Structure 1
Amino acid sequence: MDWMNVVIEYGRIILFALITLIVGLIVIKFIVRIVGKQLERSKLDESLKPFLQSLVSAILKILLLISVVNILGYPTASFVAVIGAAGLAIGLAFQGSLANLAGGVLLLTVRPFRVGDYIEGAGYNGTVKAIQILYTELITPDNKVIFIPNGNLSNAGIVNYSVNSTRRVDFKFGVGYEADTKHVIQTLESVVHSHQAILQDPEPFIRLSAHGDSAVEYTVRVWVNAEDYWDVHFDILEQVKTRFDQENISIPYPQMDVHVTNE
């Protein structure tokens, strides 16, 4: 009977499609497992590895689904068009999240900073606590937690203060015009060279740098280990003020001389 032949034929197609689906899922699972092992051996960030593994799995399953639909006799072109349209609609609806996702992949791949680095970016600064797929978590010096969307962070300039082991600390000190230049420089040199955390190579820089409206400006630049930056910054400010007082070197306030003439 013709209808029996049709049933048998469709039964064979459905059975073949079912076998293809089952075998395909097994093969995909095997491939994803291999990819996972390769990712574990790679130097990629730990947060990126499960995402890439899931992405490979999703792509392979979509390809398998298209193959099964083709076996069943449905036009794959229409099916692909539906998937594409759905993908476009989802992309438009979640374009902000997708931008963050792309930014997260970029940050985890290029790695302009790592967990524990002190960075400045997207208008914020702090120590990196975690780099997630969508957000980067910062802890500010006053212990606030900031979640920055990776899309914003990856498209902004990033300053990483922890990449190099040393940093330069810059100071500017205003001194009264009546102070002897040689005496001021010697006093600053004494303060700088007495601080144990300041490196002598590169050599500290101490020079008169500007003639201001009410003060002579001296620039001091010293190199320190990165972890000593703030200790040296505050120590030198305090010690210079103390030594200037001891040496009777004035730190003038902004002032204006007014000359009155009688006509």
Structure 2
Amino acid sequence: MENLINDLLSMIVPFAKNIVVALIVFVIGMKVANFIVKKIKRSKVYESMDKSASSFITSFISISLKTLVIVSVIAILGIPMSSVVALVASAGVAIGLAVQGALSNLVGGIMILFFKPFKVGDYVESQGVSGTVKEISVLYTKLLTVDNRAVTVPNGNLTNSIITNFSSEDLRRVDVEIFADYSNDIEKVKETMLAVAEKCPKALRDPAYAAVVLDCADSGIKYALRVWCNNADYWEVKFALTEGVRNAFKDSEINIPYNQLDVHIKQD
């Protein structure tokens, strides 16, 4: 019996020591990894880099260092790497699909960094989601919507879909569309709309603004006021022109058509 206990202790004690050492290495390793990433973020080289590139690189370094810590812990525990590989392989299709998705997102992140369809600070739209780019990491891009919601989008999805970058150019065109009924003089309507643009302080004179007829619909004529402005002023100009055109139509007695239904009763 004594020999059995000694044999058990001879097996358990070394393994218990390995567990303690592995835990110490894991905790210290993770703290060191986080410390290194923080030091990189505070370095002058990091501050001089493009925000999109610096965000991606620090994310990549963080994942690499933490992976190294985990591999070290596995080695300390005495688990053969061949067994780990066999365990991962035995998980089959599920892990394969997960890795495939992760690789797709990683490649997507590299493509975003290389081709630069957008950068940190740009306002973009993709897959029905729009917002300001706050961070481009190895696997995901984080957006902040106008109503202050954080949205995380996989990089693979971004590179495989249409991306609209509203911040790529210095100027944007504001289109204000409105209907006026057929009783109104076309030139009067256009002049009224142009007068609104003339009064807007942030509407650019070059390129020149324009009032055009877009369509002749069943209930009225569709007009558009097209004005260029600086990118940062887009929404301010948009709201000002929309309200201004509506008030100008009212002051100039330009009628706006409304949907209506006429019912005719036939008497026998």
**TM class by smaller structure:** 0.5 to 0.7
Structure 2 counterparts to residues 187-202 of structure 1, below 5 A = 187-202=192-207
1:95-174 superposed matches below 5 A: 95-174=100-179
From 45, 53, 73, the equivalent of 2:53 is 45
1:73-123: CA deviations, max 9, x gaps?
xxxxxx9xx89x96x976555222222122112212222111110000132
Q: Which residue of 2 aligns with 1:217?
A: 222
- After superposing the two structures, state which structure 1 stretch, 200-209 or 158-167, moved more: 200-209
Whether the 8 Å contact between 2:211 and 2:224 is mirrored in structure 1 is yes
Q: Secondary structure at the match of 2:118?
A: coil
Q: 1:31: which partner in 2?
A: none
| Counterparts of 1:109 and 1:136, CA distance in 2 | 15
Q: Is the 8 A contact 1:213 1:254 kept in 2?
A: no
State the alpha-carbon separation in 1 of the partners of residues 62 and 141 from structure 2.
Answer: 21
Give, in angstroms, the shift of residue 233 of structure 1.
0.8
The whole-number CA distance in structure 1 between the counterparts of 2:134 and 2:117 is 14
For 2:185 and 2:250, the matched residues in 1 are separated by 15
Cα distance change of structure 1 residues 246 and 95 upon mapping to structure 2, 3 Å threshold: same
Structure 2, unmatched stretches of 5+, are: 1-39, 68-81
1:13-62 CA-to-partner distances (Å, cap 9, x unmatched) read: xxxxxxxxxxxxxxxxxxxxxxx9xx97986811333537987xx9xxxx
Count of residues in correspondence between the two structures: 205
State, as a whole percentage, how many aligned pairs show the same letter: 40
- Matched ranges for 1:179-190 at <5 A: 179-190=184-195
Alpha-carbon distance, 1:202 to partner:
1.2
User: Structure 2 vs 1, CA of residues 93 and 169 (structure 1 numbering), >3 Å: closer, same or farther?
Assistant: closer
1:241 maps to 246
Partner of 1:228: 233
User: RMSD in angstroms over aligned alpha carbons?
Assistant: 3.4
TM-score (ref. length: structure 2): 0.66
User: Alpha-carbon deviation of 1:258?
Assistant: 5.9
3-state SS of paired residue (2:213): strand
User: What is the DSSP-based 3-state SS (H/G/I as helix, E as strand, rest coil) of the residue aligned with 1:196?
Assistant: coil
- What is the distance in 2 between the residues matched to 1:46 and 1:120? 22
Q: Cα deviations across residues 144-183 of structure 1 (Å, max 9, x unaligned)?
A: 0001111111111110000101001112111121112221
Q: Residues 230 and 93 (structure 1 numbering): CA distance in 2 closer, same or farther, change over 3 Å?
A: closer
Superposed structure 1 runs of 4+ greater than 4 Å apart: 39-44, 52-55, 88-93, 256-263
Task: Could you tell me which runs of 5 or more consecutive residues in structure 1 were left unpaired when the two chains were aligned.
Answer: 1-35, 59-78
